[in-house]
Amino acid sequence: MTEDIFAAPGRFWRGNLHTHSTNSDGVLSPEEVCRRYKAEGYDFIALTDHFVGLWNYPITDTKPFRDNQFTTILGAELHSGALENGELWHILAVGLPEDFAPSNSPHFFPVEGAETGAEIAQRARDAGAFVAIAHPEWSGLTTADARAITAAHAVEVYNHGCAIGCDRPHGFYTLDQLLSEGRRLTLCATDDAHFHEPDHFGGWVMVKAEENTPQALLEALKAGHHYSTQGPEFRGVHWEDRHVVVETSAVASVIVQGQGSAAVAEHGESMTRTRIALDRLHRSPWMRVSVIDRAGRRAWLNPVYRSDGPGSPV
């Protein structure tokens, strides 16, 4: 089974991986963005301005806004090449070096001779970044588009800005298609906040690490030691031979999803420890868990895989 993040050393740190400032198309300064996230109880943020020539390819320097309670990870939203629908790629890269070389992306539509999305994603991963396929539903990604980004660590499955701005927040179809093709990916929820509408504090990651430092957080993200949420908390997950036991804050539904139509759900009131039989998922090579609280807020675990050896769910 995939490593149990709840048994790993350290604690969970709350962070947002996708945000914009006045260094691209956001309306708040980098300092004010960081101040607001810290004030709202976040432990870290990645400020990911649009990496295009229109704003001189910014990798926003947020190091001055770190202190002993709050940290930042440098990053950007990368753009290069064309999707099948002719629009520009959007790729989230958290943990970029400040000297990451610009792409040939002068504005928000593809230009001849630019890197492909796959190429700039690979370059970001090679430079040390945690790479995620951003807002697939908003972008109109096809599975063929997503399949091309072999450097991705994760798929952005919930984007709060896309939920607020156009009701296209999800990436679960993209994630599940890639999982069913054998890709090993995690998932992340983000804000993609620009602060020109209520697009902030709606989706985040909880990262298990020993320290709230950029390097420790990045290593944990790449290892899959995180879950994603709109509010509910995961407190433990125990995979048994034919069951899973999910420990959470109070929720109304616990759902296990697998390949194709495979899924099973348990519903109730103020559920905090839920045991679910996995018989309906016995043929699925992967499984993931979602929970929903009484207010309709969701949280999502990263997938687990049957082929991980002893202790795998069967």
Q: Where are the domains of the chain?
A: 11-226, 234-308
Polymer length of the chain: 314
Whether pLDDT at 117 is above 60: yes
CA dist., res. 149 & res. 131, Å (int): 9
Chain segment 13-43, per-residue pLDDT in tens: 999 999 999 999 999 999 999 999 999 999 9
Which residue carries 């093709």 as its tokens? Answer: 181
Whether pLDDT at 3 is above 70: no
pTM over 0.85: yes
Q: Is 130 helix (H, G, I), strand (E, B) or coil?
A: strand
| CATH 3.40.710.10 corresponds to the domain 11-226 | no
**Alpha-carbon dihedral of residues 228, 232, 234, 237, nearest 10 degrees?**
-100
**Cβ atoms within 10 Å, residue 147:** 15
Model confidence band, residue 306 (pLDDT cutoffs 50, 70, 90): confident
Residue 275 β-bridge partners: 245
Whether pLDDT at 313 is above 70: no
Q: Judge contact between 152 and 166, C-beta under 8 A.
A: no
Q: Judge contact between 121 and 146, C-beta under 8 A.
A: no
Whether pLDDT at 257 is above 80: yes
**Token pair belonging to 157:** 């499955």
Q: Judge contact between 131 and 120, C-beta under 8 A.
A: no
Supply φ then ψ for residue 137, to 5 degrees: -65, -45
CA dist., res. 193 & res. 269, Å (int): 33
Chain segment 261-271, per-residue pLDDT in tens: 999 999 999 99
pLDDT at position 256: 98
Write down the mean pLDDT value for the chain.
95
Q: Which CATH class name applies to 234-308?
A: mainly beta
Portion of the chain with pLDDT greater than 90, in percent? 94
Amino acid identity, position 156? E
Portion of the chain with pLDDT greater than 70, in percent? 96
Please give the C-alpha separations between residue 143 and each of 86, 121, 206, 276, in angstroms, as whole numbers: 15, 17, 27, 31
CA dist., res. 267 & res. 251, Å (int): 9
Name every residue whose Cβ is closer than 8 Å to that of residue 54 and which is 6 or more positions away in sequence.
Answer: 24, 106, 107, 108
Q: Judge contact between 255 and 167, C-beta under 8 A.
A: no
Chain segment 271-299, per-residue pLDDT in tens: 999 999 999 999 999 999 999 999 999 99
Whether pLDDT at 102 is above 50: yes
Whether pLDDT at 308 is above 80: no
Longest pairwise C-alpha distance within the chain: 56
**Token pair belonging to 99:** 């000297």
Q: Judge contact between 302 and 224, C-beta under 8 A.
A: yes
**Lowest mean per-residue pLDDT among 2-11, 14-23, 142-151, 255-264:** 2-11
Model confidence band, residue 198 (pLDDT cutoffs 50, 70, 90): very high
Whether pLDDT at 314 is above 50: no
